[in-house]
Amino acid sequence: MTNSVVHGLPRWSLAVPPLAFVVLVLSWGRDLGAILLILVCAGLGAAVIAAVHHAEVVAHRVGEPFGTLILALAVTIIEVALIVTLMASGGDKAASLARDTVFAAVMITCNGILGLALVVGSLKHHVQEFRVHASSGALAVMTALVTLSLVLPTFTTSASGPRFSGPQLAFAGVVSLVMYGVFVFVQTVRHRDYFLPVSDNAADEEEHHADAPSGKVALVSLGLLFVCLVAVVGLAKTVSPKLESAVESAGAPLAVVGVVIALLVLLPETVAAVRAALRNRLQTSVNLALGSALASIGLTIPAIGIASIWLDGPLVLGLGGKEIVLFALTVAVSTITLATGKATLLQGAVHLMVFSAFLFLAVSP
């Protein structure tokens, strides 16, 4: 035990989860005034950061690429829970919330997170390397998942509007789960070496000297991670009416709510990806970006499909023409970026410009 850590964990990481849960209890079911709203927002942000910290502790214990997988799964569980809870209380207004949030997650991960990691890493290291086999494979799975789950509903005719019929939704959910399951198997078992960072002496030495946490510390972090997830879901549901009112008052489309949710839950992934790029471990950044996109689609669509059995109102999954164009542009740019195994500042800048176009058009369609 030292002055800065307790049981191998920073004091703030031990204090934040229970404090966030207390804020949840105090605010649950109440009309949020100014002070309580500030507390809820602060608790929500702190819980997200603490969740990522504890996910990273567990990840350090199990090693790569399991580490990035755990972080992606933790963030996706938050996202799925948020979507389901908001859809349960949103009625018809929330019919497209799942589509908007998942598509926003794809654009944020494939353009925002990846672009920022490329820019930050290239500014420090000029040219960075990553493994083409892993990155191109993940991109192929992501493209298939988005097309089958979010593009096809716009063109099917069994149900009116950009929606799947019941059997079509069940098929899309099963396909999404199978493809994501195969990807995880390949990432963690069959071709695990494809997803390991390209060897770098300085980074390897730093990793070697950073001792892995004990099993007891990892279990404590796993428990606190669960508390953080519960707090994040509850606090987000508490603040969602204020968020929707703010969006409506600003005259912005309701789809902006999905973008805000995705930005919130993917903030930890962004921080982790940028830190990895600064350490010249771009493969870890790519794993985080594409892995989060895959987890978001591969787990959200089946979960929403199951939840739709008891949720009232329609479930709109089909993308509009503007979103399909942005997705096609993202796939084309990502294919070129990931084809060479080397990344430069120019590639990162292109991804960030596509991301800025997505944000601008979300607010001003």
Q: What are the tens digits of pLDDT across the range 153-170?
A: 999 888 888 888 888 998
Helix axes 321-338, 97-107, angle to 10 degrees: 30
Q: What is residue 349's predicted lDDT score, i.e. its pLDDT?
A: 94
Average pLDDT, the chain: 81
pLDDT value for 90: 62
- Contacts of 69-72 spanning 24+ positions with Cβ under 8 A: 69/184, 69/187, 69/188, 69/291, 71/268, 71/269, 71/272, 71/288, 72/269, 72/288, 72/291, 72/292, 72/294, 72/295
* Residue 1: band (very low, low, confident or very high) from pLDDT cuts 50, 70, 90: very low
pLDDT of residue 329: 96
DSSP helix, strand, coil percent of the chain (3-state; round to 5): 80, 0, 20
Say whether pLDDT at 320 is over 80. yes
Separation between Cα atoms, residue 60 and residue 208, nearest integer Å: 11
Report the share of the chain in percent with pLDDT over 70: 88
Q: Which residues contact 31 (CB under 8 A, 6 or more apart)?
A: none
Cα–Cα dist 291/289, whole Å: 6
E strand or H helix that includes residue 128 = strand 128-129
170-180 pLDDT, tens digit per residue, is 899 899 989 98
Average pLDDT value for residue range 123-149? 87
Q: Is the pLDDT confidence value at 207 over 60? A: no
pLDDT of residue 146: 94
pLDDT above 90 covers what percent of the chain?
21
| Per-residue pLDDT band at 201 (split at 50, 70, 90) | very low
Calpha distance 224→68 (Å, rounded) = 18
Is a pLDDT exceeding 80 seen at residue 312?
A: no
What one-character-per-residue DSSP string does 284-299 give?
Answer: HHHHHHHHHHHHHHHH
Question: Quick one: average pLDDT of 34-58?
Answer: 82
Q: Which two tokens stand for residue 292?
A: 């989060």
Confidence at 209, pLDDT banded by 50, 70, 90: very low
Higher pLDDT, 265 or 6: 265
SS3 of residue 9 by DSSP: strand
Contact between 98 and 304 (Cβ < 8 Å): yes
Give me the half-sphere count of Cα atoms (radius 13 Å) on the Cβ side of residue 192.
10
Asked whether residue 358 carries a pLDDT value surpassing 90, the answer given is yes
Q: What's the pLDDT at 58?
A: 80
Question: Which residue is associated with the tokens 């096809």?
Answer: 152
The pLDDT of residue 122 is 87
The pLDDT value recorded for residue 64 is: 62
Residue 38 domain boundaries: 5-363
CATH no. for residue 14?
Answer: 1.20.1420.30
More confident residue, 268 or 351: 351
pLDDT-derived band at 98, boundaries 50, 70, 90: confident
The total number of structural domains that make up the chain:
1
In this predicted model, what pLDDT tens digit does every residue of 273-293 receive, in sequence order? 888 888 888 888 888 888 888
